[in-house]
Structure 1
Amino acid sequence: MTVRVESNSYLTEDQQRVYQLRTSLERNGGTPGGFLDLLAAVVEEGTWQQVPSDVNVDQPFASFKEFIEAKPPFGLGHKPEYVLKVLQVPHPNEGVPEIRRRMDKMRGAVRTMLAADGVTGYSEDQRDRDIKAWAALDRSGGWWLAFFVACQVSKGADGKQAASSRPAKISAAEFARRSGTSSERVLRYLHAWESAKEAGVVQFGGADLFPGHEPVALPDEEIWGQFYSSRRNSTSERSALVAAAAEVAGIRPTKALEVKENPTALKVAIIADQRTAEAAKQALEVRAAEVRKAERVEYIRRVADQGKAKTPAGLPVDLPAQAKEKAASYVAVVQDEKATPEAVAEAYEAVQALIVETVTSDPEISIREQRTRFTKTISSTMKSIESIDPDDLIAVADDDLRAIVAAAQKRINELADRISRP
C-alpha cells in the first residue's frame, strides 16, 4: 500500500497561506468558516498578488480568476463559479456586526474582481432554468413572481453585459419569449413591483435588483391585488372611480387622471412643495378614515348577523341573545349614508363593550379568555427565545445581557414553581 504525502515545508509564508486557503476550501466546504476568514485575509492583504503564478516564475497572477484556477500550491485549483457558490454560505459568526462587515467587504471585492474577468456566477443556463421555474409558477401570480421579473427585466435592456459587476438584465420581450408568455404580462408584473416600491411596500426597486439577487422580504399576499392588474380589471374601473371623485371635488377629471397615471410626478411634487404635501396628507387622512369607517361597519354587521365575535385575546365566542339584539340595533345606525365617522366609532365601541361584558359575565369564558391570553404571551416569548442562536449570544454577551437572561430564567422558574403546586 502506498501512502501519498503532500509536503509544504518548502513554501514561502504567502504560499503557506494560499495552501491553507485551498485546504480549507476542500475540507470545509459545508461550513466554510475557516475558508471565509482566510479568503478575507488574502483579499485584504493582497496575498494573491504576492505569490508567483507558476514554477520558476517571478511574476504574480494577472487576475484573481487566474489565481483561483491555478493548480496548487500556486492557486486554489478550482473554478471561480464554485468559489462564488461557497461565498453564499454565511460565516458561522456573522451575527457579530464586525465579522458581518468584514465578510460583506470580502464578498464584494471577490465578486467585483471576478466580474472584471467576465465571471458573475450567473450563467445563461441558470437564467433559462430560473425563467422556466417562473413560467411553471406563473399562473399562481403573486409577489415572488413580480420580484423575479424585477430582478431579470429592465425596460430597454439589450441583454449585453453591463460595465458593473452585476449580470445584465434582459428585455420584457426576451423574457416573454423564454417563458412562453406575453411581454405585456411581464411588464404588468414589473409595473406591480415598481408601484409597490413607490408606495413603500417593498424596500428595493428594479434598479436595485439583478439576476441572481438574494431573496428579499415580500409583502402580504392580501395586498397583491392593489398593485397587480389583469386585463379584466386593468385601468378602466380605477380610472372611472378617479373621474367620479374629480367631478365631486369640482375639478376636471383629466387632471386627476393625469396624476393617477404619473405617481412619480406626484411623489416629486409632494417632496418639493409644502402645499402639495399638506394636500396629500389631508387626502391620506380622509382615505384612512373612510377605510376605518368601512371596516367598522362591516365588523358590526358581521357580529349582528352571525352572533359570533372574538374576544380581545382572540377567543371565538357566541354572543347571548340579548347581546346579539343590541348589536343588531347598531346596524341601522352605521348603515345610514349620513352616519358620521364619530357615530360609527361609538357604535363600534359599544359592540366591543358587549363582547367584553359577555366574557366577564360568564366565569367559564372568562377563564378561557385569560388562559388564551397567557398562552399567547408565553408562546410568543418562547418563539423569540428559541430564535436566539446560543453561539451568537455568547459572542456578544456582556454583564447587562447576562443579567437580563438570568432575570428571565428566574421569572420563568417562579412561574413554573407556582403553577406546579396543587
Structure 2
Amino acid sequence: MSVRVDSNSQLTPEQERVYRLRNAAERDGGTPGGFLELLAAVVADETWRQIPSGVSSSEPFSSFAEFIEAKPPFGLGQRVEDVHVLLQMQHPHEAAAEFRSKMNAMRSEVRQLLAQDGVTGYSEQQRDRDIQAWAALDKSGSWWLAFFVVCQVRPQSSGSTAQGGGRATKAKISANEFARRAGTSADRVLRYYKAWEAARSAGAVVHSADQLFPGHEPVELPPAEDWTLYYSSRRSASTDRGALISAAAEAEGIRPTKALEVAENPTALRAAILADPRTADAARTALKALTMEERRSEHLEYVRAVAEEGKAQAASGQLIELPEQIRAQVSEQLASVADAPTDPDLVTSAYDLVQELVKQVVEADPEAHATEQRARFQTALKATRRSIAAIDPASLPDVVDDGLREEIGALQKVVNDLVASIARHE
C-alpha cells in the first residue's frame, strides 16, 4: 500500500490531523476531551494508515504502536503506555449514551490494534491480582472464568514476551505459568480454554481466543445454564477414552459426567456389582466392550503416531527411525482405517502389520538388532536371578532330594555353558 506524500514544507490533510492529535495529547492530558475525539476520528477512517511512516518512505506504518511512537509530523511522538493511560480517562460528554458508545468503540478498537503488537497496557501486577481473583472463583465454574483464561493464556510453548521497537511487549502466558500463579493445574486451566473454543466452534460465543488479550473489555457471554454443555471438570473427559465414554453416555440419554464419575470410581462400581446381579451382568458386558475399545484406541493411536513421526519404539525401549519406504507403508495402513476408525478388527490388523514392519527394520540394522537381543537377554537373566534368590540356602539342605539336586546341577551346567560361550569370544 502506498500513501500520499507532500513536500516537507506542507502537511497533507492526514498529517494535519495527526499533528492536531499530538497537540491534544500534550495540551489536554488532564481532561483529554479533544484527544479522545480526534483519536476516534483517526481510528474510524484509518488516518494512521494513510500517511507515510517517515521522510524517506512512501509506505504506511506497519502497526498502530509504531504510528503512536513515531516522531512528528508522521506519528504522535507519544509513549504507548501514556496513550493507555489517556484511554482510561473519561470524555466530559460521556454522560450521553450515544457519545459514550462512540468512545467505548474507539477504546476497544485502539486496544485491539495495540494488542496485535503485544502492547496491552496490562501490567504483571494486575495480571497477578486478576489471576488470584480467578483462583478464588475457580471452584464455581463460569463463562467469565473461561473468558479470563482465553484472554490470558496461549496453549503454545513459545515465550511470553517479545522484544520489539525497544520495548518489552506484554503478551499472553502459558497454561503452566497461569496454573503456577493460580495454585492449580495446567490441565484444569486448559479445560476452561477448551470449553471456550468449543463454544466458539458452536457459535455460542463470538470472539475466538486469538482475538482476546490481557485486559480485554468484557464481552457478551452465553447463558449460565449452557456452561456445562461445553465444560467438564473431569480430566478424563479430555482424553480419547473419556470422549468415547461421554459420547456413549449421550447416546444412552444420560449426562456424560455420570458415566465419567462411574469410570473414575471403581470402588463404587464394585459395591454396586456385588449388591445387584443385574448390575453385575451389565458390568461384565460393558467391561468386555470397554476393554476392546481401549485396545482399539491404543492401537489406532500407535499407528497414527508412527505414521506422523516416522519413528517407533522397539521392545527394548530404543527409538527406531523408520526408512521412508516403511513410513509410507505405515501411512497406507493409517489411511486404510481412516474411513472406519471404530472397526476393532481393521485397527488390530493395521497395528499388527505396523509392528511387523518395525521388527523388520530392527532386524535389518545390526546395531539395533543387537540392542534388542541384549535387552531380551537382560530381562531373562534378571528374572532367573530373582527366582533363584527366592530360595533360602539355609532351608534347602533340610528338603533337598534327588530331584532338586538334578535341577540345580542342570542349572549350573546352563550357567557354565553361558560363561564358556562368552570366554570363547573374548
Give the TM interval when normalised to the shorter protein. Answer: 0.3 to 0.5
Is the radius of gyration larger for structure 1 or structure 2?
A: 2
Instruction: Give the TM-score, by structure 1 length.
Output: 0.40
Instruction: Give the TM-score, by structure 2 length.
Output: 0.40
